[in-house]
Structure 1
């Protein structure tokens, strides 16, 4: 019997699941590699089975979509067409003329290396939150909006009893309503964007009436839970001793700068703050894939410019779960056709391509509205820690640029150690770039995460 072509999918969120299911249905053997112990990604994150959640669907929308993905994965795993490697953290994808190899670390201790060889790879690595520092942001009780949502979805835990949700972007709506429905007192939803800007982009937004209805539903829930909404406001300081006790918010003028005399104090014991997302591109950068800004560049089939490598979902540009599903389906069908030696027929994914075009336009319109405040960097005091791994302050960064002449992120890193810690600048690089005036350029790292020396020593010699 002829061996089936092999595809490795990195990431089991909406894009990875859609790609894996589409390829497996077309006669490709798929290995799905994911860092979580259950499929679904952040969007479809599920409570641990031991928690015994009676109604997990109460924490989610698009539950039927998740059921379809979950059941499809279970069928293919049972049939042997998909192998699901849970709790496997990918640190590198290597390419030689004959094959691609996905290298991962297995298990809680992360001491054992695993290699998955494939004829093609689909990168569906998702995104991570865009973190902006402000005075007091390192206090216990301050966390990202996505972190608060993960605590609620995955652990059925509230970050605090009185919560302020702040920042900008559509993610704030499900976070605020989810926390309120779970029993938290959401003292305020602080949104820096101007609501009237949405009206100016009505044509692009109207193309997705389902999304608009979803937003209206969140607005209704905010009213039902009596959540105060402060539009065109931003958090300027988090205050407290051993932990968060209150946040100071202020109004923004039309240029996105804090309006003098508008500050007000809101008591709380938790602050969930988010300013959007950035694509995870570490593996793509290691392979040499071309980026467009911060996004992996792909063609109409979701192919990168590296042979044998496709990308889908947030790694090609932040756009939400529905867009990730469309891109994953297109990638899976394209991969299957090309691994079987045929030219893909775009008619096989016509509806997905139409959805992709609409959702990309919708996302571009939202990106233009939900941008971080233009003047946020000016509110960061010199003693504010920006790089938490290495305890580097905003003052040290400004001195590196203004006093020592650093003009790129690498020079700033060498002068201040910003970005040399555990996260290797993934969290602080956007803030470092904004505070120093340096361009935000991708960092070409050989590994996507720290790797034990024993795992490297055990690798076979290259051919």
Structure 2
């Protein structure tokens, strides 16, 4: 299998990647599907262990939307795997993608996810003539006093526990942030028996009235919203608009949450704060696309309406790198239905580029569907922005980077006293984003704080350094060692030069280190 060159490699098995892999295989391409999950579905369709469903009290579809579509995709994938047209590499992460070069094939270097057995050196590398990147996204977070206490979780993490394990993360919850996702999380918690003390939406719902045409682009979303409203009424969940969590406190874990009313800019109104008891706080400020592989391969990016860095694609999901396509949240946060359509269109574009005949009417229909979804996404982002004055909630000792324990005062001091004028300068000087998560949690907040201090909005050139990593995910030392063929140690020509590890070619080390400066 190590010598196989696939027609297409798909990275990610969420809505976009799963759709891309299935459609590409059905079109006739030989596909490698690589995903960190042991089951397909990604974060959106995360569900209980399919081999032990009898161990769970509720059916696997509990809490899901569009489950019928997922089951159809899953069944179609299984048929393609059985027919030998899809090689599904589960429990694997791509940590680097190299361009085709002389071999006319991309090289995707993979590693086993934590807790999984390491794979053989021959299986670590996957070669493909074309690549669809569908890496998904992760929860966007903003720091606030007390957010590092146990019991404070990302809203997506709370929902993942419900979907995959049917486990409640607490008994009394406050759900806070902005955007429709808060409603989904709160409704799921309530249905699971959690008392939802409050749902704090930072923006006014009237903001949706500013873009009524965009809101009507997705009637299915309106039906979902009606379902959430019914749950809120039935469970008596209080929805507090123009409200935010300003402080979380407790001795060893969350016990009290302070909630305050804010103005249109996000400044807390004097005398509006009150404290409620809770043992769980679910925070969600939208999502951040996972762009390590997109930036690493050299594809162009732009800043989207919500301030996220996203991949630039044409009308058929092609990136600026020939042979590389992007689909799903990597091109802009738009939801599962949008991601499915983008994944399918990317697969059709790859098939066309490979010389396979594809009905043009099918592609045209997908383009119209995607355009409609993007119009809705723009309206959603404009109705649910990050409050402009969110940094006024912070105190000097509030941690921006929890990995490296960097407080907000250090970030502001680095900009004000040391004249650091972009997020990268602050990162290398004060070390926010230099810990285990490599800025995945704090990167957005850091860029916002630096922009506020400098008075200069962050562009793609400012945000790309926060996600540019020669090693896109934590890997084993054995994965580095496997880069080189079995050979004698490479000795340096000059004794003062750094010595390459035994058996590792200098060119491979140079490739890994060229972006670190």
Aligned to 2:376: 362
Contact 1:4 1:27 in 2 (8 A): no
Indicate the residue corresponding to 2:499 in structure 1.
none
- Structure 1 residue runs of 4+, over 6 Å off? none
Q: 2: distance between equivalents of 1:340 and 1:9?
A: 18
Q: Which has the higher contact order (CA 8 A, sep 6+)?
A: 1
TM-score (norm 1): 0.96
Q: Distance in 1 between matches of 2:354 and 2:139?
A: 34
After TM superposition, the structure 1 = structure 2 runs for residues 20-35 of structure 1, keeping only pairs within 5 Å, are 20-35=21-36
Q: What is the alpha-carbon distance in structure 1 between the residues aligned to residue 166 and residue 409 of structure 2?
A: 39
Query: Aligned runs of 1:257-272 on 2, under 5 Å?
Result: 257-272=267-282
CA deviation digits over 1:157-185, x for unaligned, max 9? 11100111110011111110011001111
Matched, 1:37 2:47: no
Question: Is residue 331 of structure 1 aligned with residue 337 of structure 2?
Answer: no
CA distance in 2, matches of 1:217, 1:454: 50
1:102 corresponds, among 102, 108, 119, to 108
Cα distance in 1 for residues equivalent to 2:141 and 2:338: 23
| Deviation (angstroms), 1:109 | 5.0
Inter-CA distance 4–130: structure 2 relative to 1 (3 Å threshold): closer
Residue of structure 2 in register with 1:207 after alignment? 217
How many Å separate the matches in 2 of 1:5 and 1:445? 25
Query: How many aligned residue pairs are there?
Result: 460
Hey, what's the Cα distance between the residues in 1 that align with 2:477 and 2:62? 44
| SS of residue in 2 equivalent to 1:412 | helix
1:392 corresponds to which of 406, 427, 447: 406
Contact 2:5 2:126 in 1 (8 A): no
1:447 aligns with 2:448: no
One of 411, 426, 437 as aligned partner of 2:440: 426
d(CA) in 2 for partners of 1:170 and 1:71? 30
- Matching of residue 459 in structure 1 with residue 463 in structure 2: no
SS at match of 1:47: coil
Mapped to 1, the partners of 2:203 and 2:253 lie a distance apart of: 28
State the distance in 2 between where 1:158 and 1:174 align.
15
Cα distance, 1:255 vs structure 2? 2.6
CA drift of 1:306 comes to 0.5
Q: Of 247, 250, 253, which residue of structure 1 is paired with 2:257?
A: 247
CA shift for structure 1 position 196: 0.8
Paired residue secondary structure (1:442) = helix
Q: Which residue of 1 aligns with 2:78?
A: 74
Inter-partner Cα distance in structure 1 for 2:336 and 2:279: 31
2: CA distance between counterparts of 1:210 and 1:316?
21
Q: Is the 8 A contact 2:39 2:90 kept in 1?
A: yes
Tell me the secondary structure at the aligned position of residue 81 of structure 2.
helix
Residue 491 of structure 2 aligns with which residue?
A: none
Tell me the CA shift for residue 11 of structure 1: 0.1
Stretch of structure 1 that moved more, 278-287 or 430-439: 430-439
CA separation in 1, counterparts of 2:6 and 2:110?
A: 21
The answer on whether the counterparts of 1:4 and 1:28 sit within 8 Å (CA) in structure 2 is: no
What residue in structure 2 maps to residue 379 of structure 1? 393
Distance of 1:348 and 1:162 partners within structure 2: 48
Cα distance in 2 for partners of 1:282, 1:9 equals 15
Report Cα offsets for 1:333-358 as digits up to 9, x if no partner. 1111211366x664232221111011
* Cα deviations by residue, 1:356-408 (Å, 9 ceiling, x for unpaired): 01110000000001111111111111101111111100111111111211111
Q: Aligned equivalents of 1:457 and 1:207: distance in 2? A: 51
More moved, 346-355 vs 295-304:
346-355
1:401 and 2:404 correspond? no
1:418 & 1:208 partners in 2: Cα distance?
Answer: 39
Unaligned runs of 5+ in 2: 304-308, 485-504, 509-517
Deviates more, 1:445-454 or 1:302-311: 445-454
- Determine helix, strand or coil for the equivalent of 1:441: helix
Residue aligning to 1:17: 18
Whether the aligned pair in 2 keeps the contact of 1:141 and 1:244 (CA below 8 Å) is yes
The residue aligned with 2:321 is: 306
Distance in 2 between the 1:227 and 1:119 partners?
A: 52
